[in-house]
Amino acid sequence: MNVEDQMQTTSRIRVLIVDDSALVRQTLTDVLSSDPEIEVIGTACDPFAAAEKISQQVPDVITLDIEMPRMDGLTFLQKIMAQHPIPVVICSSLAEEGAQSALKALEYGAVEIIAKPRVGCKQFLEEAQITLCQAVKGAAKARVRPRNHHMVEPKLTADSVLAPATGAMIETTEKIVAIGASTGGTEALKVFLEALPADCAGMVIVQHMPELFTRAFARRLDSLCQISVKEAEPNDTVLRGRALIAPGNHHMLLKRSGARYFVDIKEGPLVCRHRPSVDVLFRSAARYAGQNAVGVIMTGMGDDGANGMLEMKQAGAFTIAQDEDTCVVFGMPNEAIKRNAVDRVLPLPAIARAVIAYAR
């Protein structure tokens, strides 16, 4: 192996696959190995075998199943985060029970959830290659924080929460808040939504997450927040005190009929490597809400939402990006900032206050 090949090998993202199914391990290996930026350094059938592999070579990212023999994935994840934090991507089957466990995994420190590729479904495998590789790359860049970490709320100034004074809003309709998030977004959205009062402006949210997981995620948030949170359905009205979360594997668009805002749920191709896509939501908000909208882009890998946020700003919306210090991955917000699409860059604990102040 020459020097150039050695440099390429060492710069690859090293992945350990942990799953009790030999077929799944082989499928994930084939999918990940197809990306030249990723190297599968090993597989393990259970956490005990995985621990042995890690003792020999520490991976950059672990893909982890939840239901396994001898030790379940959640217990293993807790041990990893306590002893040697490593970015973990949960690879789970599309089942309601799996969705609930996967959400617990996010609380315990996992950075992403992906659906297990369905063997034999060509389209699913092709899309899985995009989403799985994207998830691993995002995890490799994630700031893994111990679960006993408590974010210290920064001191806020009046300037940090108030919208710019330029221009005048036309007070013709209710304000609408459109939010996009990806890697690390589940916990960021929890912090944000829990801080909102019951009468806050209506919200539409895209969080990159597989189908069924978004339903469980919405139910979890609904039980924790003062506002109502639900997985969006076609023609749902955007109401004060309610947040609608785009269903996994479907795009969500904001529409307007007279003074009523509602959502449209669509199938279609991946946009910016995602379905649902933040760009799709933001562009519809720019078109139908314009200067009556507030756009928020949170932690996540890639650039989904950056162009859509620019369209929102150009349409007169007030736009906010989460700052680098509080992001798990400063990808999506940074891309929006680079495009000059952002009015305010704020730490996560300040975003809710800014939204409340501006929406009033």
| pLDDT tens-digit map of 274-322 | 999 999 999 999 999 999 999 999 999 999 999 999 999 999 999 999 9
Q: Is the pLDDT confidence value at 163 over 60?
A: no
Say whether both 25 and 73 belong to one domain. Answer: yes
Just list the catalytic residues: 182, 208, 304
Peptide bond into 85 cis (omega under 30): no
Query: 143-175: string of b/e by CB count within 10 Å (b at 16+)?
Result: bbbeeeeeeeeeeeeeeebebeeeeeeeeeebb
Of residues 108 and 116, more confidently modeled: 108
Of residues 37 and 259, more confidently modeled: 37
Q: For residue 164, what pLDDT is reported? A: 37
Say whether both 125 and 177 belong to one domain. Answer: no
> Which of 286, 18, 15 minimizes the C-alpha distance to 278?
286
Q: Is the pLDDT confidence value at 3 over 90?
A: no
Average pLDDT of the residues of the chain: 87
Domain region containing 242: 172-359
On whether residue 152 sits in a domain, the answer given is no
Q: Is the pLDDT confidence value at 98 over 70?
A: no
On whether residue 291 sits in a domain, the answer given is yes
CA distance 155 to 349: 10
Q: What sign does the CA torsion over 118, 124, 129, 133 have? A: negative
On whether residue 340 sits in a domain, the answer given is yes
CATH number reported for the structural domain that contains residue 54 in this entry: 3.40.50.2300
Instruction: Give the pLDDT band of residue 147 (cuts 50, 70, 90).
Output: low
Q: For residue 281, what pLDDT is reported? A: 98
Average pLDDT over residues 22-42: 93
Q: For residue 332, what pLDDT is reported? A: 97
- Tokens 């700031």 belong to which residue? 143
Say whether both 115 and 62 belong to one domain. Answer: yes
Of 121, 140, 159, which residue is a domain's last? Answer: 140
